[in-house]
Structure 1
Amino acid sequence: MVLETIAIALWAMLPAYIPNNAAVIFGGGRPIDGGRTLGGSRLLGDGKTWRGAVAGIAAGAVLAVFLNRIVDSVSNAITVSLPEFSIFAILLLPAGAILGDIGASFLKRRTGRERGAPFPGVDQLDFVVGALLLVAIPAVLGIHDWFFDVFGLGELLAVFIITPVLHVVTNAIAYWIGFKDEPW
């Protein structure tokens, strides 16, 4: 039961886990904030670019579509009934992940942190909170129940416990291979 809950949680979050990595790899170009400041510091900074945001959302959506193609095979192989991604989930999970990261960047600037400075807790969960909140909106509004069909308390706990560990490990790898300037 616990392993099944973890498998469902991780599978459902994969389209939210990939966007920020894709944004780092394919980013660059014009910053989203256009260089604007608030209270003497940048709104977001040079690390949040339009190209990175679009690439991140696209990468997450493409991954979700691919996962839908293999869901039956993977479910059979691991004997866990994994969820398919609805069109809402395909679009909102990666978009929410990017928006969560942008929101954290805004908070970092407001608290005087420079680009790349650690912000424990926020750095590890900003994209998760953004993704889950955005994909929950259609469910809360009664438009589409994908969020409630997939995420129970167990799955949410698994996401919030496992994600920080995955985040630290993947950032350390990205730093080690030269994709990031800092290991957090």
Structure 2
Amino acid sequence: MIGSLVATAFWAMLPAYVPNNAAVLAGGGRPIDGGRDWRGARLLGDGKTWRGTAVGTLTGVVLALALNRIAEPASAALGVDLPTFALPAAFALAFGAMCGDIGASFLKRRSGRERGAAFPGLDQLDFVVVALAAVFVVDTDWALAVFTPSVLVVVLVMTPILHVVTNVGAYALGLKNEPW
């Protein structure tokens, strides 16, 4: 039971988990905030770019479509009924994740935190909360079928753990400047 919940939660969230990483790899380009300040601090900062947002969103959608192609054999191999992604759901998860991270940057700047500074709690769940909200708005039937209360609990518990483990790993490998 727990194994199937974890598998379903992880699978269903992959289109939201991957976009921010893809955005970092795409990096650079024009900042979304255009370099503007608000109340003495950047609105978002140089780390939030149009290119990164577009590439991150596209990566999440393409990943969801790829997962659709392997859902049946993966389900059979794992003994779990893994969901396939409707296109609106895939887009909502990916774009919602990007928007959640952008919103977190806005809140970080308002609290005086610089780019890369830790903001415990927000750093781990910003993208998840907005991605889930977006998918429930955009494709309610799909979201209700996939994100049962049990799956939602697993997502909310699993995500911070995955976030910490992957960030510490990336830091240890020299891929990040800070371990959060």
* Aligned amino acid, residue 158 of structure 2: I
User: How far off its partner does 1:6 sit?
Assistant: 1.3
| Alignment: residue pair count | 180
Q: TM-score, normalised by structure 1?
A: 0.94
Per-residue deviation, residues 121-177 of structure 1 (Å, max 9, x unmatched): 0000001011101001034xxxx5100010111100000001001111111222233
* Aligned amino acid, residue 124 of structure 1: Q
Matched-pair identity in % = 60
Per-residue deviation, residues 54-75 of structure 1 (Å, max 9, x unmatched): 1111111111000000000000
Per-residue deviation, residues 33-80 of structure 1 (Å, max 9, x unmatched): 000111000000011111111111111111100000000000000110
Q: TM-score, normalised by structure 2?
A: 0.97
* Aligned amino acid, residue 30 of structure 2: R
**Partners of 1:25 and 1:179 within 8 A in 2:** no
**Partners of 1:24 and 1:180 within 8 A in 2:** no
What pairs with 1:6-155 in structure 2 (closer than 5 Å)?
A: 6-139=6-139, 144-155=140-151
CA distance in 2, matches of 1:182, 1:47: 15
Structure 2, unpaired ranges of 5+: none
**C-alpha RMSD over aligned residues:** 1.0
SS of 1:145's partner is helix
Aligned to 1:161: 157
Moved over 4 A (4+): none
Q: 1:170 aligns with which of 141, 152, 166?
A: 166
